Amino acid sequence: MKLPEAPPASLRLRIDRDALAANWRALDRLSGGARAGAAVKADAYGVGVDHAVPALLAAGARDFFVAHWGEVAPLLAHVPGEQVSVLHGVLNEAETAYARATGARPVINSLRQAALWLESGGGPCDLMLDTGINRLGIPPHEAGDPRLAALDVHVLMSHLASADEDAELNRLQLARLHQLAPTIPHRHLSLANSAGIALGQDYAADLTRPGVALYGGIARRELAGLIGQVVFPRATVLQRRRIGPGESVGYNAIFIAKREMEVATVSIGYADGFLRCRGAGFAMQHQGIDLPVLGRVSMDMTVVDCSAIPSLSAGDYVEIPFDLPAEAQRSGLSQYELLTTIGHRFSRQS
């Protein structure tokens, strides 16, 4: 049985590709003599690889970073594997075989990974030095191991722990990287993420790796005014109703009406990234008018006060505010969380 075309999605995510490309170009300019790459892990921070990568390529990006090997295949529809780095490295023979088949470069993070890569035949890879974040990477005391010198390192990199702050650790990590880099043969050096780019030319090295700023995040105050909003979510009104004084809304009746009011049930909930912490005190919008959220956010639905908009009815779309710095401040979520928790039920449109 051939199914008819699905009806229009009740959740829509408009992606401003022009803003995304402009953000990359701004970060590339700020990188000075270094070139900017692009972190596209977590499905391009929730934007969608198929929407983000073509825009980034058109802007000039050529170096792409993901975390998992499962993220490589979607990228190969747009770029050759040689332009992809996998940050988690290789843990077993299945991953080394996949790396060779796709051409993607593993980012070697330990002596065990270095040995595994060399035993599988070696070849181009990247290498992470841990200069102070203590997550993944070669610690300084292991940097002189001969197995690292035997690697064919394309990008030697480290990752800043506190680039969004004016922390002494930034300068310490930069110094450690420059101290260790001469001990390991490599073609390119990389340190700065989005916030690191804003720290200045000393941190740019040969290649920067912006992530959240590409998608509208303001990682440091220096980027304000240079980075534009990329993601614009909308959700459909499912029902409008009138409630009276004393009636409650949603689970656990945490909102009780003090007056007669009009409320609308909107087709978005925590399964779509509209988490419970964006409940009471938050508002959606329609035609520039706020629609305050009432009660608890449910998995698939959220109720708003629509008394101020008599014309709002079932089938209309409302806007979900998504200025990342502002929404992060209001919700207590990070800008990264706001982006990467966007659900898969959105129809992504450019």
pLDDT tens column, 288-318: 999 999 999 999 999 999 999 999 999 999 9
Can 2 be counted among the known catalytic residues?
A: no
The pLDDT of 160-180, averaged and rounded, is 97
pTM: 0.96
Give me the CATH topology for the region 17-216.
TIM Barrel (3.20.20)
Q: Over 90: is that where the pLDDT of 186 sits?
A: yes
Range(s) of the chain covered by CATH 3.20.20.10 = 17-216
Q: CA separation (Å) from 139 to 82, 121, 146?
A: 26, 24, 14
In whole angstroms, give the CA distance from residue 99 to residue 119.
14
What does the pLDDT read at residue 94? Answer: 98
Q: Are 214 and 20 in contact (CB under 8 A)?
A: yes
Catalytic hit among 2, 41, 215, 270: 41
CA–CA separation, 92 and 2 (whole Å): 42
The confidence band for 1, taking pLDDT boundaries of 50, 70 and 90, is confident
Amino acid 176: pLDDT: 98
Residue 131: predicted pLDDT: 98
pLDDT at 231 over 90: yes
pLDDT of 264 over the 90 cut: yes
What does the pLDDT look like over 113-142, one tens digit per residue? 999 999 999 999 999 999 999 999 999 999
CATH-assigned architecture of domain 231-349: Beta Barrel (2.40)
Token code pair at residue 122: 């070696």
Instruction: Give me the residues paired with residue 12 across strands.
Output: 234, 347
Is 251 one of the catalytic residues? yes
Average pLDDT in the 82-98 region? Answer: 98
Average pLDDT (157-181) is 97
Question: From the candidates 45, 98, 215, 251, which is the catalytic residue?
Answer: 251
What stretch(es) of the chain map to CATH 2.40.37.10? 231-349
**Which backbone phi and psi does 217 adopt, to 5 degrees?**
-80, 140
CA distances from 84 to 81, 115, 168 (A): 5, 21, 32
What DSSP element (H or E) covers 266?
Answer: strand 261-266
CA-based radius of gyration for the chain: 23
Nearest CA among 46, 55, 181 for reference residue 127? 181
**Per-residue CA distances from 306 to 40, 310, 318 (Å):** 37, 7, 11
Element holding 285 (H helix, E strand): strand 283-286
pLDDT beyond 90 at 25: yes
6 exposed, middle or buried (CB, 10 Å; 0-12, 13-18, 19+)?
A: exposed
